[in-house]
């Protein structure tokens, strides 16, 4: 049964940012959904990082590519899924906004599989 690990809306973001580290509690597979609801910028790109075993280093395991339209983009992460990377103990979502004008509003949801 799936359960939400992280569920947050970010309103009118005009700078690059991240969620901070999200503990996975031993979860091996997750789905990450991004819903771009307002795009007052040229584009936004999302990244998923994992915390490596040393507990101090991050490794990017997925990037969305530049999104320039409203809508939902999702990815499944973990062994046997679309992105087969081992997740580690924690993950974070980062975003990069290109040429912000009025800001970007988006929703991020991370769900166990």
Q: What would the pLDDT profile of 70-87 be if each residue is shown by its tens digit? A: 999 999 999 999 999 999
- Please give the backbone phi and psi of residue 19, each rounded to the nearest 5 degrees, phi first: -80, -15
Q: Does pTM surpass 0.85?
A: yes
- pLDDT for residue 2: 85
Query: Per-domain residue ranges for the chain?
Result: 4-112
- Output the CATH code of domain 4-112: 2.60.120.1110
Those residues with Cβ within 8 angstroms of residue 58's Cβ, 6 or more apart along the chain or in another chain: 49, 50, 51, 52, 92
The three-point CA angle 9-17-83 to 5° equals: 80
């Amino acid at each position: 049964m799936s359960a939400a690990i992280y569920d947050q809306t970010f309103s009118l973001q005009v700078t690059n940012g991240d969620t901070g580290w999200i503990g996975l509690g031993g979860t091996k597979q997750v789905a990450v959904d991004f819903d771009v609801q307002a795009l007052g910028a040229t584009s936004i790109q999302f990244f998923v990082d994992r915390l490596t075993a040393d507990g101090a280093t991050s490794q990017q395991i997925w990037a969305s590519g530049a999104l320039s339209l409203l809508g939902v983009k999702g990815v499944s992460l973990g062994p046997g899924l679309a992105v087969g990377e081992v997740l580690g103990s924690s993950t974070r979502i980062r975003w990069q906004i290109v040429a912000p004008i009025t800001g970007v509003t988006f929703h991020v949801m991370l769900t166990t599989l």
